[in-house]
Amino acid sequence: MACREHANQTPHAQMAGRTLSLEDYFASRMISSPLRLFDYCLESDGACAVVVTSAERARDLKKPPVLIRAVAGGAPRDHRAGMMFPVVTRGDITELGGRQAGAELWRRAGVGPEEMDIAQIYDCFTISVILQLEAYGFCGKGEGGPFAASGALKKGGRLPINTGGGHLSEGYVHGMNHIVQAVRQLRGEADMQIEDAELCLCTGGPLPVGSSVVFRRAA
């Protein structure tokens, strides 16, 4: 619901003109219980590009830079061979590599989850978002659902996520649109701008390997 509301304020998003009520959500067909149609990401044709350079070089460019404060990746201790589907053969399928990635990320960045103003969270499914909220320390294990239901993920909430609509409502460009949205937010150029945003978490590929970056607005 948060991602759709944010997409409704983002003109280029696939779902920009399509509102979604909670009643609409519960009326949608079940795909694989408990996940319904709108728990799944979009299928999209699209492309994104980013330019990465040194901080010194970036100061001379036309646009204000957004700085990479830290990056980290990780895998769960019982990681299995293969890309994604072996995740369901693990002892605890709710334990993601984001927990290892997050611990290292916060150590390297010198900040914690409580200091993030916004987050662009890899949302191939709604459950992926909930599990990552827990893995990266925004709430305790088993508390991701109530955290989301509290309104924390919407504009004006504790942690607005996927402020362009994310994979669920903007478009599925394999996490690159999350990076672009993070940069736009920290430059103050987003369609649905979060005022005074300085720090943003961006995650990718949560099943089962986790990757993450903290972006910082340049002074």
pLDDT for 43-95, tens place per residue?
A: 999 999 999 999 999 999 999 999 999 999 988 777 676 666 666 677 787 87
Q: CB under 8 Å, gap of 24 or more: what pairs does 141-148 form?
A: 141/94, 148/2
pLDDT at site 207: 67
1 three-state secondary structure: coil
What percent of the chain stands above pLDDT 90? Answer: 83
Q: Are strands 199-204 and 210-217 parallel, antiparallel or unpaired?
A: antiparallel
- Note the pLDDT of residue 92: 80
Q: Left, alpha or beta for 174 (phi > 0: left; psi -120 to 50: alpha)?
A: left
Report the pLDDT value the prediction gives residue 110, as an integer from 0 to 100: 98
Domain that holds residue 120: 2-217
* CA-to-CA dists, residue 6 to 100, 183, 199, angstroms: 29, 16, 19
pLDDT at 94: 81
**What is the total residue count of the chain?**
219
- In angstroms, what CA-CA distances link 193 with 55, 141, 153, 196? 24, 30, 14, 9
The count of domains in the chain is 1
Alpha-carbon Rg of the chain, whole angstroms?
A: 17
pLDDT in tens, 9-48: 999 999 999 999 999 999 999 999 999 999 999 999 999 9
By the 8 A CB rule, do 138 and 96 touch? no
Token pair in block for residue 145: 């659902």
Nearest residue to 48 via CA among 175, 168, 199, 194? 175
Catalytic residue among 25, 40, 136, 172: 172
Tell me: pLDDT of 130 over 90.
Answer: yes
pLDDT of 204 above 70: yes
As a whole-number percent, the residues of the chain with pLDDT over 70 amount to 95
Structure tokens that stand for 63 in this block: 């646009």
pLDDT at 155: 97
Tokens of 134: 């827990």
**Active site annotation includes 136:** no
Q: What is the pLDDT of residue 82?
A: 65
Q: Which residue out of 25, 40, 122, 136 is catalytically annotated?
A: 122
Query: Average pLDDT for residues 153-165, to the nearest whole number?
Result: 98
More confident: 98 or 50 = 50
**CB of 217 within 8 A of CB of 186?**
yes
pTM over 0.75: yes
CATH number at residue 109: 3.40.47.10
pLDDT at 93: 77
Supply the mean pLDDT for the chain. Answer: 93
Q: How high is the pLDDT of residue 206?
A: 64
User: Residue 99: its pLDDT value, please?
Assistant: 85
Is residue 40 among the annotated active site residues? no
Mean pLDDT of 99-124: 95
